[in-house]
Structure 1
């Protein structure tokens, strides 16, 4: 399979960011589910089984903390049973995001909310045990989740939640036309990347060391999409993406940034390397 043409590398300075000294990020892995590489990336093999990550990421900031996605919830088996049969697969469950937060002694009152990269089941399931935490969504994704068939699990787990709707400023950010600077210091910036779903987003995070992260959700399911410049297979683009052409455009934007920041596709376990865990996994529960 021929890869996408390599875009020119980003040549302008990276946006200014002034993260406070006590800002930090942690990964909260909640489980995995199995997917053949042939269904994940163009040119993949059915013999190559990928363990798709279902994780949350805690972003601590003195003005208030956020979770990026929610991972698997306590009732993940129920949520998987709500999916069409062709979407169900073998899965492994670890501790939920809430269980990991509580085990660390974390004060959940610090949480401003859960920012969903989009509303699909494997990003929203863990909302079922975070009832007292608001859900942050833009209007595009809120509408998508309320109307589309793939929002069934989200509609189930979001009952009773406060939903805080945020908007985007007409302020370009790294080639994306609109953005939302959460704390006003450039440390957490959300951009609209509405190809996978109409309100999909990428969350850019800069930490005090100067390291930059791009949590790209399902723009690509695996790092192959960035490193090998490959899209999802044709059938999966048709089934999974609202606007495949927009996904391709945004994927090329991220490929142009490769090497300048740590790009994290939500479902690639390898992408979380180097991000510390909030608490060690109990013995017998490696992920």
Structure 2
């Protein structure tokens, strides 16, 4: 458990004016298996968890945006590129690219892929997506230099990199943010901690429903609902700054009753987000 326990957020939520035809869809591309004991402090050794590899499509009249890319066509090679201890049994489903084709999706609508961070299971699907990759300068440096960026460096070859810059404008306790469309409907906040430039993507729909796509700030919802950080060994292996992750978890735990919080790898966290309609 994280102490001190966070208090519920009592301020006003940021203003947002999402267009009436804005929507989001989930695109599940597969899962891989791990133990709950590795996912969050206090998790059971006996309980197996299927970690999601799911992308989220934001449809917006200003141009669509994909949050993360899920598993790609070369997922087997991407898994093999990981250290042996980091490999896990996985199940691949249809890639984002294949789901786009099955739905008759017009790819000219897609402005790019905004990745929450550059680890392999968030970027694998870039191997089939010929669109700009949206990254902030801090995460771009991490991806270029860190050993965990090797798959990113492979799948990003020949792609346009769209670097976005944060404004010195706090957003729900995070120090800086970037308003993608200028209407408050999609706001990217720098979280850091897991990787140096990892982000949270806050989305507000026309209905007023709010989401926080928190990447790997937590791997499972217990990280926010308890809140519970990763076990000691996983923190040492996976995180750049443990204290920064704890701070982020406290902030998100204080918001858990105000929005749907979606850790990238928690299957249950995507409940209620529709699949991309087929043709």
The answer to whether the Cα contact below 8 Å between 1:193 and 1:250 also exists between their aligned partners in 2 is yes
- Equivalent residue, structure 2, for 1:247: 245
The answer to whether the Cα contact below 8 Å between 2:2 and 2:246 also exists between their aligned partners in 1 is no
Displaced runs of 4 or more, over 2 A: 2-5
- Equivalent residue, structure 2, for 1:106: 105
Structure 2 residue aligned with 1:168, among 163, 166, 169?
A: 166
SS of alignment partner, residue 30 of structure 2: strand
Q: TM-score, normalised by structure 2?
A: 0.98
- Equivalent residue, structure 2, for 1:91: 90
CA drift at 1:3: 4.4
CA drift at 1:5: 2.7
Aligned 1:45-56 pairs, distance under 5 A: 45-56=44-55
The answer to whether the Cα contact below 8 Å between 1:4 and 1:230 also exists between their aligned partners in 2 is no
Structure 1 residue aligned with 2:194, among 187, 191, 196?
A: 196
Q: CA RMSD in A?
A: 0.8
Aligned 1:124-273 pairs, distance under 5 A: 124-130=123-129, 132-273=130-271
- Equivalent residue, structure 2, for 1:15: 14
CA drift at 1:277: 0.4
* Number of aligned positions between the proteins: 278
- Equivalent residue, structure 1, for 2:274: 276
The answer to whether the Cα contact below 8 Å between 1:168 and 1:180 also exists between their aligned partners in 2 is yes
Q: Deviations over 1:29-53 (max 9, x none)?
A: 0000001111101011221000000
Unpaired runs of 5+ residues, structure 1, are: 281-287
SS of alignment partner, residue 145 of structure 1: helix
Within 2, Cα distance between the matches of 1:39 and 1:226? 16
Q: Deviations over 1:90-141 (max 9, x none)?
A: 00010001111111111011111100000000000000010x2110000000
The answer to whether the Cα contact below 8 Å between 1:205 and 1:214 also exists between their aligned partners in 2 is yes
Within 2, Cα distance between the matches of 1:173 and 1:271? 22
CA drift at 1:64: 0.5
SS of alignment partner, residue 108 of structure 2: helix
CA drift at 1:4: 3.2
Within 1, Cα distance between the matches of 2:156 and 2:169? 30
- Equivalent residue, structure 2, for 1:79: 78
Unpaired runs of 5+ residues, structure 2, are: none
CA drift at 1:10: 1.1
The answer to whether the Cα contact below 8 Å between 1:20 and 1:208 also exists between their aligned partners in 2 is yes
The answer to whether the Cα contact below 8 Å between 1:19 and 1:208 also exists between their aligned partners in 2 is yes
